[in-house]
Chain A
Amino acid sequence: AQTVTQSQPEMSVQEAETVTLSCTYDTSENNYYLFWYKQPPSRQMILVIRQEAYKQQNATENRFSVNFQKAAKSFSLKISDSQLGDTAMYFCASMSGGTSYGKLTFGQGTILTVHP
């Protein structure tokens, strides 16, 4: 079984600054994927970034990047040049890379507020 833990219920950042959201996970598998999802006030879940565990290079998507520390089972999300539209709840999630039928395991979420 996989578990995902987000220990920061809420965070805030000033517009244009950088913020890092933390996530730790546990799995007994070698083949797995990690994700960050964004849920804005509209509630629509949007995939932000995906990391394959066997890839050592950290994934990046424009202003979003991850710090994947496999040995420490840590998967943090860095948002650079924060924008007001980044205000949302962010969920860390994991999925087995094998026969998982697409089952995602989510963390508790972190509410991020970007202040002008």
Chain B
Amino acid sequence: NAGVTQTPKFRVLKTGQSMTLLCAQDMNHEYMYWYRQDPGMGLRLIHYSVGEGTTAKGEVPDGYNVSRLKKQNFLLGLESAAPSQTSVYFCASSRTGLARETQYFGPGTRLLVL
């Protein structure tokens, strides 16, 4: 039982390049989330999914797209990376969206956009 895993762990991009971050969970959770962490700002929700085939915008969705084609995977895409997207990205999952359910986080992906 690996929990929540993220690929890659670290990536350097040039402005304008594209990439996809992969999140995988093996807990059969319905809900999945993508957050970004910036110094002095805590974690902010980018997009989330309440089940396979569904996605919704969070607090800071601009510049990102997501897909949930399989229940266990949640992909975060950057079509044209910008320096403002330099951040640490965290994926999380939970069995339901209820507050009494624990959200389990992945180890994070550090992204540097030059």
Contacts and interface: CB of A to CB of B under 8 A. Distances in A.
Interface stretch (B13-21, B37-45, B60-68): B37-45
A108 B42 contact: yes
A102 B48 contact: yes
A102 B31 contact: yes
Contacts, number: 67
A43 B37 CA distance: 11
Interface residues on B, range: 20 to 34
Interface magnitude class on chain A: 20 to 34
Given A107-B42, A108-B40, A102 B108 contact: no
Contacts of B106: 44
Interface in B32-84: 33, 35, 40-45, 48, 50, 56, 58
Given A104-B45, A106-B44, A95 B99 contact: yes
